């Protein structure tokens, strides 16, 4: 949850379900349409339900970094073999750096990886090495997480790869 948000609640493993339909703008849906994906930080499956609902992409594999009904394998232990048949990884990862950094180090080595993150992350020094491997940034704006009130922080989808890329920015349409 964003530091500027009204949500002061601390949640285990930064579990904030992606429930706002605005999290999947049309340009994002167009980029993932018809693709098969894995969701390694699925939490309660909220993002998967959003993507299933509009038939943008098809989830072949879902798990999480903690035990829950979806958990097949810890996100940090998945292999390329686990993702056989998947074109992409799409997830709303934990935002805490201690949890996010290992995911940034691991997931893009397996498949092109879409992460839903705060927009200001692209400007942080610690994200510098990762931004060199970012091919697309899709601006989303503010989202709601728990209730129907938008937060105070903006978000983007970032697509990471395992090698340097030129970054394209997709503004809000």
pLDDT tens digits, one per residue of 73-99: 788 889 999 999 999 999 999 888 998
**Residue 6 tokens, joined:** 């009204």
Residues recorded for the chain: 173
Task: Determine the CATH number of domain 12-170.
Answer: 3.40.50.150
Nearest C-alpha neighbor of 144 from the set 9, 57, 16, 37: 16
Mean pLDDT of all residues in the chain?
86
With H, G, I as helix, E, B as strand and everything else as coil, classify residue 43. Answer: coil
**Greater pLDDT, 42 or 124:** 124
pLDDT of residue 69: 58
Cβ 64 vs Cβ 53: under 8 Å: no
- The total of other beta-carbon atoms located within 10 Å of residue 28's CB is 23
């Amino acid at each position: 949850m964003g530091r500027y948000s009204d949500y002061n609640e601390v949640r285990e493993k930064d579990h904030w379900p992606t429930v706002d339909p605005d999290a999947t703008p049309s340009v994002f849906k167009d980029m993932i349409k018809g693709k098969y994906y894995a969701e390694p930080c699925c939490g309660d499956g909220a993002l998967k339900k959003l993507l299933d609902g509009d038939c943008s992409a098809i989830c072949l594999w879902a798990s999480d970094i903690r035990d829950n009904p979806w958990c097949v394998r810890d996100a940090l232990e998945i292999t390329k073999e686990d993702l056989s048949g998947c074109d992409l990884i799409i997830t709303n990862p934990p935002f805490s750096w201690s949890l996010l950094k290992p995911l940034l180090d691991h997931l893009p080595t397996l498949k092109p990886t879409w992460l839903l993150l705060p927009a200001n992350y692209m400007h942080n020094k610690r994200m510098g090495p990762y931004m060199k491997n970012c091919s697309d940034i899709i601006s989303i704006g503010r989202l709601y997480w728990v209730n129907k009130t938008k937060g105070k922080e903006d978000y983007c989808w970032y697509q990471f790869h395992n090698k340097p890329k030129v970054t394209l920015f997709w503004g809000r349409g």
